Chain A
């Protein structure tokens, strides 16, 4: 099989799909050209805890599964904890991804970072260095697939 049972479970029954109309942090990464776009909506309370999270994804099976897993991994966590979530941890939680699909997990990590960066921007605060994405400054094709 191409994917682990866990990937298939999250692909077929994705958790936290949808949008949050009152989200106070929204981030989108990816590019239609590459066939992967992830959008994350977060509700972050005054204590810096992520109380709710939803995602929308246009992409392949592993893109949907990594989005779903990533939302589960940050729900109820603090901004600090979410910031430290790595793509490798998401992939590991899914019992691994095929090598050429690892960029999907990178996209999930970056979608969360983009949403957290949006949170700081909305508050008029400086975006921490480790939330800056390589493609923040310019449209250079694909955020996470090496283009």
Chain B
């Protein structure tokens, strides 16, 4: 009886059947190059453009504003570097960027790279629920601010940001606004018009599309200089022979996700809330992130006196795949920047667990998780020198 419960959908998802079936012909008989002039190539081109229209429609964009990339990381890199290069071409070779302390590393490490090149970066703090304040965004805007980049929803703690409000602030001050919507697209309603965003990154494998494909939305008339140079595909903005199968799979997956957004969102929220309700009953455990404004499938916790990697490995041996922002699950010795940014002390941040639910999860999975996690937490606390077994509390006093 080897049970397998996948609860790491914020990490990646399985390809949907619709996506797989849409892709299959392009991996076999429809392998034409969209840049070729003969009909065999032009058919692929036509299918690629249909996929562009489909993806654009799901985020309220025009097809000509959508550019396919190799994924979310490339889209984030291109958004930041491209906007700054475009500004430099317009006579602003240096300036200021506003982002947040809880962005994905695709943004944070790009911003740090740009700092080394002379740009000034403000990393806005977040509150204890992981929210960026639109008023703080506004207060951070300077005459030389070139770009604001704030994620739509956080990958570790599931907090959904007030993107539309931040977009309104950006619009009011005529500053370009990018949002990394990798965790949001396909999970919550996304509308580039309602959100007032100028650029938006998305990634297919987060909504049951294939890995290695994503897109950057770029509001017209903004024309980003390319990040990748070459044969001039994507109207010269992103070279490289198009990943037709990937793009078609992404479109099929997103259409399906968009059609089920409400029903699946409600179903996952109910499962998620069962996890939250059950696991926050454990002593010295708490929910991380915003209890109200959070991604439907994401439940994230910290358990005092327990180290996250050990927790994950024990869950794995019980057939449960989950994730942690623990330092020990990475080569760095610091716990996740997100958990520190919401004000958790190091000692507690080490005990983090993220359970992210998706299409394949059921009430039975939640039951199994609700049985396994308390057992593992109790077991690890039992062997922990910082847990007082008699008192059932940690021996440390957290500052």
Contact = CB atoms under 8 A, between A and B. Distances in A.
**A in complex with B:** yes
Interface of A: 8, 11-12, 14, 17-18, 28, 32-39, 56-64, 100-101, 103, 142, 145-147
Most buried by B among A38, A62, A64: A64
A63 B307 CA distance: 10
Given A17-B383, A64-B383, A59 B328 contact: yes
B180 interface: no
- Sorting the interface of chain B by its residue count into under 10, 10 to 19, 20 to 34 or 35 or more gives 20 to 34
4 residue pairs, one from A and one from B, having the closest CB atoms:
A60-B328, A32-B347, A35-B350, A60-B309
Contact of A14 (B307, B328, B383, B384): B383
Contacts of B383: 14, 17-18, 56-57, 64
Given A33-B347, A35-B327, A35-B335, A61 B309 contact: yes
A14 B383 CA distance: 10
Interface of B: 305-310, 313-314, 317, 326-329, 331, 333, 335, 345-347, 350, 380, 383-387, 396
A56 B385 contact: yes
7 contacts: A32-B386, A34-B333, A35-B328, A56-B384, A58-B380, A58-B386, A60-B307
A64 B313 CA distance: 12
Interface hub of A36, A103, A142, A147 (most chain B Cβ within 10 A): A36
B346 A59 contact: no
B307 A58 contact: yes
Given A32-B386, A35-B346, A37-B386, 12 more contacts: A8-B313, A32-B350, A34-B346, A35-B326, A56-B383, A58-B305, A58-B307, A58-B385, A58-B386, A60-B328, A60-B329, A64-B310
A2 B170 CA distance: 44
Contact of A39 (B310, B328, B347, B385): B385
A63 B80 CA distance: 40
A37 B310 contact: no
A57 B385 contact: yes
Contacts of B347: 32-33, 35
A35 B383 CA distance: 14
A60 B384 CA distance: 11
